[in-house]
Amino acid sequence: MAAWLRVNAEALRVKYVIWQGRYWDPTTSDQEGWGERYTGGGVYNVADPTGGHYDHIHVSFRE
């Protein structure tokens, strides 16, 4: 699903995707295979399955 969101980001107006401890947006270069490492922005514990987005995909859409 996360890969599909990336492929279809323009048509779906995807702003960003967070999945499996990785962050991607249309301006992000791939580091280590998929987006860049997600840091949680100081809000989320990225070592936790939910905080690191290992148990769900987080997707945000442009208006």
> Residue 4: which H helix or E strand, with range?
helix 2-7
Q: What's the pLDDT at 31?
A: 79
Local confidence band at 34 (pLDDT 50, 70, 90 cut-offs): confident
Q: What is the overall mean pLDDT for the chain?
A: 91
For the chain, report the end-to-end CA distance as a whole number of angstroms: 21
pTM: 0.87
Percent above pLDDT 70 for the chain: 100
